[in-house]
């Protein structure tokens, strides 16, 4: 099958000359195998992969086939679904605009209306646009914070959230049912426009979106009066956040914003950073340089599709400290909940939603402030789904949601993580504490730790590529599941939750039944909860060839907590090495 596919793609005239020549130049049989041994999988949210020719890569032919699967699914909703149409956005990556065009014209070929943005836009604005235009679905072409070699294709549904499981499965079924690779041709752009099937959108949606972002401000008067006193250095990391992040800050009154000039414009090679990921400290090197020049209070960076936000704060000694995703999430949760409470506008059904990979500190803080907490599986789509469920059942009023991987959301008008909203809220929180309480965000965080205990979190990822890597990930999960683990680095465990089997087991406490059923959906996750707070969690990534290990340690002294985390990590990785029978590079 591999050789047949390779022959088809490297010889058939349906594939452009560049594709055929790229494939014919390959001499590595393992590379050919990896490109053709499977189709790039349409997962829970869509596709993500390396840009190259082949069925297991990202290219226009894979985009066409996936889009035809989406078109077949929308056609099942009849003329109403087809007329409601699909909104398409894209970021600054290689081939993003080309992929967006291909998707638009395949949909148009199927008689489905398409709204295509006139330039690159943040992913959260795509979520908003689906709701605003009352579309049937949405597509965003992005690989978020992945390396430059990647691109992706994310599908959203009519509520603005990532495509739900039932529809995702249906799209996948349609893709799988289409055996031929050579029978999909997009409609010509001029024909699509002449038939009213391709419509360009832009400024109207920007204005509507930004208006709602600004409505989330708790103290707009403070921003207008004192916003210029907060010095901010911002980097869009060559991506889609540049225009809207700057615009919302400026319109609210944050006029002392310096944009990193080397990272302001789109650059598909992300040439100033190793990875365009605001989680990585070196991503802020240029921002730190300009921060020191400007004596900035705050450094902000959004990833290429501007759904994630990284934050660096200047401490009392004038040095810059980067916050983790958990710390940003805790600070924003504390700011929003405590200030709404003080203003008398906190809903009696106020709810915080976070993932099981995110810090337990948020649970302790929210519950203390009288806010209910919902924990969901890793992935922001689950936060958005829970928000929708609470809204429909009248069981909660969503205030804030976050995940440890730099994803944050407030408000009811977007159904995905939003770096634009997060940037505005971080700026407002920093200004409020600076002007009203004479604290930096770092000092506020320390106050939170003093009250609820010190939590220190970290994540380690191990890259395991290709077919062999996939098998090794499965081996690790199976080996851990079969191991009798009662502690890490001598710290006793309270319980183990196995989300693949959907069974939890209590390891401490005098209860007759040690096992219990987990209510969250099935997922390849093992979570080990420590007695007294904190956890270790293991999960293969759904979008990258990596297995991820999450660590959260609670204690009373910061240095002790950090030392303990290192010991816990080494213990877990030693267990994983034993399962694989080899040492790990991490």
Q: Please give the positions annotated as active site.
A: 144
Return d(Cα 557, Cα 547) in angstroms, integer. Answer: 30
- Cβ atoms 481, 498 nearer than 8 A: yes
| Greatest Cα-to-Cα distance within the chain, rounded to the nearest angstrom | 72
Number of other residues whose CB lies within 10 A of the CB of residue 180: 9
Which run of H or E residues covers position 497? strand 491-498
What secondary structure does DSSP assign to 301-361, as a single string? EE-TTS-BEEEEEE-TTS-EEEPPHHHHHHHHHHHHHHHHHHHT---TTEEEEEETTS-TH
The encoded tokens of residue 14 equal 């349906």
The encoded tokens of residue 271 equal 């040439």
Could you tell me the CA-to-CA distances from 69 to 170, 188, 518 in Å, in that order?
8, 20, 33
Taking the mean position of all CA atoms in its chain, how far away is CA 103? Answer: 22
- Cβ atoms 488, 538 nearer than 8 A: no
Return d(Cα 205, Cα 209) in angstroms, integer. Answer: 6
Angle, CA of 316, 321 and 325, to the nearest 5°: 130
The encoded tokens of residue 463 equal 């890259």
Secondary structure of 105-148 in the HEC alphabet?
HHHHHCCCCEEEECCCCCHHHHHHHHHHCCCCEEEEECCCCCCC
Q: Single out the residue of 337, 332, 500 nearest to residue 408, CA to CA.
A: 332
Which residues lie below 8 Å from residue 471, measured CB to CB, with a gap of 6+? none
- Cβ atoms 549, 573 nearer than 8 A: yes
Number of other residues whose CB lies within 10 A of the CB of residue 322: 19
The encoded tokens of residue 53 equal 């020719």
Return d(Cα 21, Cα 41) in angstroms, integer. Answer: 25
SS3 470: helix
Return d(Cα 146, Cα 286) in angstroms, integer. Answer: 20
Return d(Cα 357, Cα 161) in angstroms, integer. Answer: 20
- Cβ atoms 108, 192 nearer than 8 A: yes
Q: Compute the radius of gyration of the chain from its Cα atoms.
A: 24
The encoded tokens of residue 461 equal 């990822």
Could you tell me the CA-to-CA distances from 360 to 7, 249, 374, 541 in Å, in that order?
53, 31, 12, 21
């Amino acid at each position: 099958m591999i050789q047949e596919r390779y022959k088809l793609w490297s010889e058939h005239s349906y594939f452009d000359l560049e594709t055929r020549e790229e494939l014919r130049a390959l001499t590595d049989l393992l590379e050919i195998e990896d490109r053709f041994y499977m189709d790039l999988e349409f997962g829970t949210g869509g596709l993500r992969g390396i840009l190259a020719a082949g069925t297991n890569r990202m290219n226009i032919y894979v985009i066409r086939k996936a889009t035809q699967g989406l078109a077949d699914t929308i056609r099942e909703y009849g003329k109403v679904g087809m007329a409601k149409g699909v909104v398409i956005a894209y970021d600054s990556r290689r081939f993003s605009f080309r992929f967006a065009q291909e998707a638009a014209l395949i949909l148009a070929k199927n008689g489905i209306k398409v709204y295509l943005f006139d330039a690159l836009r943040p992913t959260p604005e795509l979520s908003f646009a689906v709701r605003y235009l009352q579309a049937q679905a949405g597509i965003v072409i992005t690989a978020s914070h992945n390396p430059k070699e990647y691109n992706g294709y994310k599908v959203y549904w009519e509520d603005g959230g990532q495509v739900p499981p039932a529809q995702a499965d249906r799209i996948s079924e349609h893709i799988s049912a289409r055996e031929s690779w050579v029978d999909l041709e997009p409609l010509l752009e001029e024909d699509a426009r002449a038939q009213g099937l391709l419509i360009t959108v832009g400024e109207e949606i920007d204005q509507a979106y930004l208006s709602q972002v600004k409505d989330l401000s708790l103290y707009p008067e403070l921003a207008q009066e004192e916003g210029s006193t907060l010095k901010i250095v911002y980097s869009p990391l060559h991506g889609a956040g540049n225009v809207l992040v700057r615009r919302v800050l400026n319109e609210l009154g944050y006029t002392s914003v310096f944009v990193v000039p080397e990272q302001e414009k789109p650059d598909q090679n992300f040439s100033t950073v190793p990875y365009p990921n605001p989680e990585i400290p070196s991503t802020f090197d240029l921002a730190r340089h300009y921060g020191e020049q400007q004596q900035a209070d705050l450094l902000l960076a959004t990833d290429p599709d501007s759904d994630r936000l990284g934050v660096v704060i200047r401490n009392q000694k004038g040095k810059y400290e980067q916050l983790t995703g958990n710390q940003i999430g805790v600070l924003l949760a504390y700011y929003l909940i405590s200030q709404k409470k003080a203003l008398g506008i906190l809903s009696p059904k106020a709810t915080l939603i976070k993932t099981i990979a995110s810090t337990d500190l948020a649970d302790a803080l929210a519950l203390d402030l009288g806010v209910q907490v919902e924990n969901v599986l890793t992935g922001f789509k689950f936060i958005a789904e829970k928000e929708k469920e609470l809204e429909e059942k009248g069981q909660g009023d969503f205030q804030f949601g976050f995940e440890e991987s730099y994803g944050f959301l407030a408000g009811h008008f977007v159904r995905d993580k939003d770096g634009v909203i997060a940037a505005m809220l971080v700026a407002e929180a920093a200004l409020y504490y600076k002007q009203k309480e004479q604290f930096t965000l770092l000092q506020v965080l320390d106050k939170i730790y003093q009250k609820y205990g010190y939590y220190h979190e970290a994540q380690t990822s191990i890259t395991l590529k290709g077919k062999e890597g996939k098998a090794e990930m499965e081996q690790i999960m199976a080996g851990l599941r079969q191991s009798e683990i009662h502690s890490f680095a001598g710290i006793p465990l309270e319980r183990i939750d196995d989300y693949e089997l959907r069974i939890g087991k209590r390891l401490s406490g005098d209860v007759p039944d040690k096992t219990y059923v987990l209510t969250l959906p099935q997922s390849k996750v093992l979570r080990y909860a420590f007695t007294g707070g904190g956890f270790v969690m293991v999960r293969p990534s759904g979008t990258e060839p990596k297995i991820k290990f999450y660590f959260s340690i609670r204690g009373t002294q910061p240095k002790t907590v950090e030392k303990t985390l290192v010991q816990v990590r080494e213990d877990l990785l030693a267990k994983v090495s034993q399962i694989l029978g080899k040492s790990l590079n991490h």
